[in-house]
Amino acid sequence: MEHRVKETKFFNMTLLLLAGLAVLAALWDAGTSQFRGGTDDLFFVLAALLVALLFATPPILFGIRSGWFHEKFVIDDEPASSEAHAAAEAREADSHGGKNSLFIFVWIALLALTGLEVFLGYVQLRKDLMLTILMGASIIKAALIVAYFMHLRFERMSLVLTIVPATVVCLCLMLILFPDGFRLLHLR
């Protein structure tokens, strides 16, 4: 039995590694060509990300089935035993209030990230590097705000899955305008 657990773990780790490699390939292509190749590059990046999703799906499904996500997202509202019910109630009460230290910690993290961004502006980093780091930090900040300040981390998984992927995909679709922006610059 233990042998099988080990095997499953190894299998999942390999798949996650492959998914990571696919993401890296997408990042590498985006970094080196900077979408100068137009739609071809965009297509390659999207295909690589889809492959990464494909690789990552079995580990994620395994994680859901083995209950790994239950602690991360509050998903079931009817625990089986009364003991678990009490625990869930305590957790709910916890998420409703009395967590002010957590929020102050998140606030400090947001301030630290903002300070880092301003510092990068002060030392005047290279433009492309600066843009990448700024957008990365901003996305982390946005995720912190949405997850903790806007309470999405304590909501049901169904609400998270309804709101977040749709918005992110719609925003990412607008990326398709950038190859045209570069083309316009070269036409001048």
Binding site for another protein (CB under 8 A): 77, 92, 96-100, 103-104, 107, 110-111, 114, 117-118, 120-122, 124, 127, 130-131, 134-135, 137-138, 141-142, 145-146, 149-151, 155-156, 158-159, 162-163, 166-167, 170-171, 174-175, 177-178, 180-182, 184-185, 188
DSSP string, 170-181: HHHHGGGGHHHH
Output the smallest distance, CB 177 to another protein, in A.
Answer: 5
Output the smallest distance, CB 55 to another protein, in A.
Answer: 28
Phi-psi region of 156 (alpha: psi -120 to 50; beta: other; left: phi over 0): beta
Output the smallest distance, CB 43 to another protein, in A.
Answer: 19
First to last CA, the chain: 67
Judged by CB, which is closer to another protein: 11, or 105?
Answer: 105
Output the smallest distance, CB 24 to another protein, in A.
Answer: 25
Task: Give the integer Cα–Cα distance in Å for 75 and 153.
Answer: 11
What b-and-e string marks burial along 37-61, b requiring 16 or more CB atoms within 10 Å of the CB?
eeeebbebbeebbebbeebbeebbe
Judged by CB, which is closer to another protein: 32, or 122?
Answer: 122
Helix (H) or strand (E) holding 48: helix 39-65
Judged by CB, which is closer to another protein: 67, or 115?
Answer: 115
